[in-house]
Amino acid sequence: MPPVNPSPIPCIVALDYPSRDELLGFLKSVTPQSVPWVKIGLQSFCLNGPGLVREVGAAGFKIFLDLKLHDIPNTVAGAVRSLSSLPISMLTLHASGGLEMMQRALDIQQELAPDLRLLGVTVLTSMDRKGLAETGITNAPDAHVERLASLALEAGMPGLVCSPLELRNLRQEFGKNPFLVTPGVRPAGGDMGDQKRTMTPAEAVQAGASALVVGRPITKAADPVAAVKGIQEEMSLAIQ
Ligand code: C5P
């Protein structure tokens, strides 16, 4: 695959494959130059463990490990300690785990993996107002995102995961520094799957994203390589 003008805003491909062979098959069809960033999430990590992370890292890809840690502070700090020797550049924790949980995780990260960026997950992009209300949260999703974002930034988290619909509000509220990663990105006319709060790649870039995460529109496409290339091109055009 010829390298596309790499956009300064990465399109991180979510490698949510049911088998190691399919995941590695996708990586063989691209290069770290054409797709610098990949995301390993719960599905692949639970199946393949840290060995896969080392293998993907050794192949030259930058890794966003999306484990969405959420437990008592001591356990989350221990998990960050266990993960700190892996070749990962970003790792997620749920901001709803609380201030102390995030601070303890940051303490370990700063001690053992100073280059690792911890991201606070605000409200999952699959949740809408009704889904949040079912968990007892009666705030609108954007208000709850803002509240969790404020807590994560108070803890010292350098970045957040949010839906593209909240990007403008978060930039207005918290400025240009937080690294805002957004899943819930769907090319125009694409299948939504279980995502409810979505935007197109171009809209997400224009709304202030630092990085996009795209999974099924690429991994389930008839031609995944063409799909990722199309999204990268759309993002590059949106920046110009
Ligand atoms: O296939 P799709 O593009 O919907 O994948 C989105 C990816 O982003 C999934 O791996 C999902 O776990 C992740 N994610 C999300 N919503 C969040 C955080 C991460 O969809 N708030």
Mutate to test the pocket of ligand 1, among 12, 16, 65 (most ligand atoms within 8 A of CB): 16
Which atom of ligand 1 is nearest the CA belonging to 41? 10
For ligand 1, say whether the CB of 215 is within 6 Å of any of its atoms.
yes
119 lines ligand 1 (CB under 6 A): no
Atom of ligand 1 lying closest to residue 214 CA:
3
DSSP-derived secondary structure for 125-140: TT--HHHHHHTT--S-
Per-residue pLDDT for 60 more than 70? Answer: yes
- Could you tell me if the CB of 120 is within 6 A of ligand 1? no
The pLDDT of residue 7: 61
Confidence category of residue 214, pLDDT binned at 50, 70, 90: very high
pLDDT at residue 1, as a whole number: 45
Q: Is 38 in the pocket of ligand 1 (CB under 6 A)?
A: no
Is the CB–ligand 1 distance for residue 14 below 6 Å?
A: yes
Bridge partners, residue 224, by sequence:
none
Paired sense of beta strands 90-94 and 211-214, if any: unpaired
CB of residue 187 inside a 6 A radius of ligand 1: no
Residue 89: pLDDT over 70: yes
Question: So which residues are the catalytic ones?
Answer: 68
Closest CA to ligand 1's atom 2:
215
Band of residue 215 on the pLDDT scale cut at 50, 70, 90: very high
3 pLDDT above the threshold of 70:
no
CA of 165 to the centre of ligand 1 (A): 14
Whether 67 shows a pLDDT value over 50: the answer reads yes
Rounded-to-integer distance, Cα 188 and Cα 200, Å: 6
Mean pLDDT of the chain: 93
How many A from CA of 92 to the centre of ligand 1?
A: 12
Contacts of 200 (CB under 8 A, 6+ apart): 185, 186, 187, 188, 234
Q: Give the pLDDT of residue 224.
A: 87
The residue whose CB lies within 8 Å of the most ligand 1 atoms, and thus the one to mutate among 66, 127, 192, 198, is 66
pLDDT band for position 5 (cuts 50, 70, 90): very low
Confidence of residue 194 (pLDDT cuts 50, 70, 90): confident
Task: Confirm or reject: Cβ of 183 under 6 Å from ligand 1.
Answer: yes
